Structure 1
Amino acid sequence: MSDDLVTRHRAVMPNWLALYYQEPIEIVRAEGRRVTDSTGKTYLDFFAGILTNAIGYDVAEISDAIRSQLDTGVLHTSTLYLIRKQVELAEQIAELSGIPDAKVFFTNSGTEANETALMLATQYRRSNQILAVRNSYHGRAFATIGITGNRGWSASSLSPVKVSYVHGGYRYRGPFSAYSDADYVAACVEDLRDVLQTTTSGDVAAMIVEPIQGVGGFNVPPDGLLAGYKEVLDENGILFISDEVQTGWGRTGEHFWGFESHGVVPDALTFAKGLGNGLAIGGIVARGDLMDCLNANSISTFGGNPISTAGAKATLDYLLDNDLQGNAAKQGDKLLSGLRDIAARHDVVGDVRGKGLMIGVELVEPGGVEPSPPAAAQVMEETKARGLLVGKGGLHNNVIRLAPPMTLTDEETTEALGILGESIAKAQESRAK
């Protein structure tokens, strides 16, 4: 991309709007799992627009569904009118959710979905108290920033809700990191009980949890943690909200939703990202009584519009018809195994974790566990130079995030592991000097 476009971007866009890479790229074409920048260089995409291009690029079935809707001339109507694809998609998602008497409300993003979940929960319980998990991320709006437990993404201490944070998110560096799975779950559940007794007035509205923390660095808790949480929540009449914005649609491989690894069913779940395969769509599924608790009028101008729901319905159908959840499990196992082999040879890698096609590689200073943002930054540049795009996150900005489209092939997985191995070796060499 030309320096001129970078300069123009920085002149008119906010300073806090981050760009990846020392020399940012402009993506101008894409096909399959590969994208091409404005200089003509092609990359294997292992971040998928932040987990959003879940099926990949230029998928005929999805493009045809969008074109079919475009051909009607109806791009927009608002929720004041019936939208056939919206109803069909809601029926399908409600059934897939496993939530009893489920109803669905569509939004434009995960942030908006989580804002809606907070509004419903606080209205239903007549309380503004929320429980969240340390190192969490739930969006960039006023209330969702208020429940985000990661200082790097908390732009303001002001909030419309009162938040109490519990342990359980960042296992690698948490105070219970050396515990067994069972002891870890027990300690986190006991911490939840203590937080309820010491930092709340008791009548908490809801707890919101990412089954795998996304922005926080793809942190994976032991299976059963959410079940332990929910036992305490049920004892106190507190609602449970599962933030499935990144874990939904089979990406974890094991299950369709992240919460299913824990043997629980939430009162509500939020979704976005992969459902639209690039189109702006999000939403919330909730028990009917919870969804219907509002006593004021509301609509959504753009949420669930004809274009986004037509594309999302085609995306969901494609995902289910082609068992992309199974492919996520298969390719994820291969990636995790390969990355752990790489980690065994390079102590600049402190941790490799994940499920399915949600994998985090935490970089540390060789010989210890000190977070190494410079190593992560170097791996980002090295992979880009070799034709692979990856993501970055974590509390200390030292975690490489891998989340390719769920249509990933065996050959592409092997290619990516080769590039990652070479790039991590370079970071090891630099940090060991």
Structure 2
Amino acid sequence: MTGLHERHLAVSPDWLALYYRRPLELTHGEGRHVWDADGNRYLDFFGGILTTMTAHALPEVTKAVADQAGRIIHSSTLYLNRPMVELAERVATLSGIPDARVFFTTSGTEANDTALLLATTYRKSNQILAMRNSYHGRSFSAVSITGNRAWSPTSLSPLQTLYVHGGVRTRGPYAELSDERFVKACVADLEDLLGHTREAAALIAEPIQGVGGFTSPPDGLFAAFRQVLDRHGILWISDEVQTGWGRTGDHFWGWQAHGEHGPPDILTFAKGIGNGMSIGGVVARAEVMNCLDANSISTFGGSPVTMAAGLANLSYLLEHDLQGNSRRVGGLLIERLRAVGAGSACVREVRGRGLMIGIELVRPGTDEANPEAAAAVLEAAREGGLLLGKGGGHSTSVLRIAPPLSLTVAEAEEGAAILAEALRAAE
């Protein structure tokens, strides 16, 4: 155990998890690579939990941060803030929500908290519909709508939460159905649920479940849900904390795979927009955003420095078509990983979209989750120079792959080769 690890354990909560038997101290990064305190270099396929969206030490972002820090670092939302207004204008336009208003926070958790406050106030109801296997943050209200028991430490809640089928395509009671019948069954389940409850405020859903193991429904499920919700006046909140900004390749937002009936009423975002700086936020149409009748500000949300980073990062992403790169390189990577998985008795499924890919591991010959194998692959990949993430259901048996969106073809091939060796070593 290193001295820093011992010091960490002495002052940190027991529940603050660290990856690896010998935890890493990352000291610097460049592009798609990071280095540890011992000088080892790693290809980063997790990006600080999908947060380093474009690249490590991206010059455009680091310069924007330094320039803004040299002028003024902080002011709060009590003063006009040019970088905040400029980023809000761009996000409002990109969101697809008409007459959109934007409120910036410091994290995805806080963004989802704000969305819940808006929805429950607007609808005058504390009842929330959420998806099974979901994750929406670590605050008291966010864990109360999280449908993944591994990340929900208490059953106490300020909300009445009802869970809906549909977030996981290949497990559960509808897994054997065709996509069309799966959607119909989930819609029937939602209809039945609403027939036994009071009027709910909103449905909150991740278009692709992040912590849940990069699971997703067939395209169009949430559009079908939307028709039901609209009849009841229930709002749709799309949690885009992990799926936003082009990561899925096919779409800029995850909701667009389900957009036949228009954008969500509320959209939340965070992670990648800041490329490591602490930015979250909420977009909603004006009548929903403006429903609060009490004072509210943000001390740190919309900080001039983080907004400058977000503007530079978003400009880089759009100018270099990183969504297109995610689609092209992600498509290649998932093909390679499916070929690797086909030769492994531990791999149940390789799934995903763009540069958001999950590899679900099971005990050979069964459908039983295999978190031990996932931990072993994580360690073996690290030894091979590759950093991965974990997640999934009620056990961490899914390898999560989400590199910066500037990943090259050569780096995708390199990462797939290291992962193939790690799977062989773990078996």
Could you report, residue by residue, the CA deviation over 1:160-193 in whole angstroms, capped at 9, with x for unpaired residues?
A: 1100000011222221111111111111111111
- Any conservation in 1 of the 2:32–2:404 contact (CA below 8 Å)? yes
- Any conservation in 1 of the 2:78–2:297 contact (CA below 8 Å)? yes
For 2:193 and 2:398, locate their aligned partners in 1 and report how far apart those are by CA, in whole Å: 29
Could you report, residue by residue, the CA deviation over 1:33-80 in whole angstroms, capped at 9, with x for unpaired residues?
A: 1000001101000000000000111111111111110121x1000000
Q: Shift of the alpha carbon at 1:427?
A: 2.2
Q: Which of 177, 185, 188 is the equivalent residue of 1:187?
A: 185
Q: Shift of the alpha carbon at 1:322?
A: 0.3
1:353 maps to: 351
For 1:254 and 1:416, locate their aligned partners in 2 and report how far apart those are by CA, in whole Å: 22
- Per mean C-alpha deviation after superposition, the further-off stretch among 3-12 and 266-275 is 3-12
CA RMSD in angstroms, aligned pairs only:
0.8
1:16 maps to: 15
1:416 aligns with 2:412: no
Q: Give the TM-score, by structure 2 length.
A: 0.98
SS in 2 for 1:152: helix
- Any conservation in 2 of the 1:348–1:427 contact (CA below 8 Å)? no
For 1:176 and 1:15, locate their aligned partners in 2 and report how far apart those are by CA, in whole Å: 38
1:119 aligns with 2:106: no
1:159 maps to: 157
2:214 maps to: 218
For 2:219 and 2:399, locate their aligned partners in 1 and report how far apart those are by CA, in whole Å: 23
Could you report, residue by residue, the CA deviation over 1:181-212 in whole angstroms, capped at 9, with x for unpaired residues?
A: 111111111111111122x21x1100000000
2:253 maps to: 257
For 2:5 and 2:189, locate their aligned partners in 1 and report how far apart those are by CA, in whole Å: 47
1:178 aligns with 2:176: yes
SS in 2 for 1:240: strand
For 1:172 and 1:382, locate their aligned partners in 2 and report how far apart those are by CA, in whole Å: 27
SS in 1 for 2:161: strand
- Per mean C-alpha deviation after superposition, the further-off stretch among 306-315 and 176-185 is 176-185
2:233 maps to: 237
For 1:414 and 1:282, locate their aligned partners in 2 and report how far apart those are by CA, in whole Å: 32
- Any conservation in 2 of the 1:172–1:351 contact (CA below 8 Å)? no
1:70 maps to: 69
- Any conservation in 1 of the 2:169–2:218 contact (CA below 8 Å)? no
Q: Shift of the alpha carbon at 1:336?
A: 0.9
2:26 maps to: 27
SS in 1 for 2:352: strand
- Any conservation in 2 of the 1:138–1:148 contact (CA below 8 Å)? yes
Any gaps of 5 or more consecutive residues in structure 1?
Answer: 429-433
For 1:140 and 1:227, locate their aligned partners in 2 and report how far apart those are by CA, in whole Å: 28
Could you report, residue by residue, the CA deviation over 1:61-108 in whole angstroms, capped at 9, with x for unpaired residues?
A: 111111110121x10000000000000000000000010100000000
- The letter of the residue matching 1:39 is D
1:431 maps to: none
Q: Give the TM-score, by structure 1 length.
A: 0.97
- The letter of the residue matching 1:217 is G
The 5 Å alignment of 1:274-423 reads 274-395=272-393, 396-423=395-422
- Any conservation in 2 of the 1:30–1:57 contact (CA below 8 Å)? yes
1:51 maps to: 50
For 1:156 and 1:373, locate their aligned partners in 2 and report how far apart those are by CA, in whole Å: 23
- The letter of the residue matching 2:285 is R
For 1:192 and 1:426, locate their aligned partners in 2 and report how far apart those are by CA, in whole Å: 44
SS in 1 for 2:68: helix
Q: Shift of the alpha carbon at 1:413?
A: 0.3
For 1:90 and 1:333, locate their aligned partners in 2 and report how far apart those are by CA, in whole Å: 31
SS in 2 for 1:352: strand
Q: Shift of the alpha carbon at 1:343?
A: 1.4
- Any conservation in 2 of the 1:268–1:286 contact (CA below 8 Å)? yes
- Any conservation in 1 of the 2:42–2:387 contact (CA below 8 Å)? yes
Aligned residues: 424
For 1:191 and 1:223, locate their aligned partners in 2 and report how far apart those are by CA, in whole Å: 18
1:207 maps to: 203
- Per mean C-alpha deviation after superposition, the further-off stretch among 278-287 and 261-270 is 261-270
For 1:291 and 1:315, locate their aligned partners in 2 and report how far apart those are by CA, in whole Å: 26
For 1:298 and 1:12, locate their aligned partners in 2 and report how far apart those are by CA, in whole Å: 33
SS in 2 for 1:8: helix
- Any conservation in 2 of the 1:353–1:359 contact (CA below 8 Å)? yes
- Any conservation in 1 of the 2:167–2:209 contact (CA below 8 Å)? yes
- Per mean C-alpha deviation after superposition, the further-off stretch among 183-192 and 400-409 is 183-192
SS in 1 for 2:128: strand
Could you report, residue by residue, the CA deviation over 1:271-328 in whole angstroms, capped at 9, with x for unpaired residues?
A: 0000000000100000000000000010000001100000000000000000000000
- The letter of the residue matching 2:236 is F
For 1:313 and 1:248, locate their aligned partners in 2 and report how far apart those are by CA, in whole Å: 15
For 2:69 and 2:15, locate their aligned partners in 1 and report how far apart those are by CA, in whole Å: 35
- The letter of the residue matching 1:94 is A
For 1:18 and 1:124, locate their aligned partners in 2 and report how far apart those are by CA, in whole Å: 37
For 2:194 and 2:133, locate their aligned partners in 1 and report how far apart those are by CA, in whole Å: 19
For 2:415 and 2:217, locate their aligned partners in 1 and report how far apart those are by CA, in whole Å: 26
- The letter of the residue matching 2:228 is V
SS in 1 for 2:281: strand
Q: Shift of the alpha carbon at 1:347?
A: 1.9
For 2:338 and 2:29, locate their aligned partners in 1 and report how far apart those are by CA, in whole Å: 30
- Any conservation in 2 of the 1:56–1:277 contact (CA below 8 Å)? yes
- The letter of the residue matching 1:234 is D
Runs of 4 or more above 3 Å deviation: none
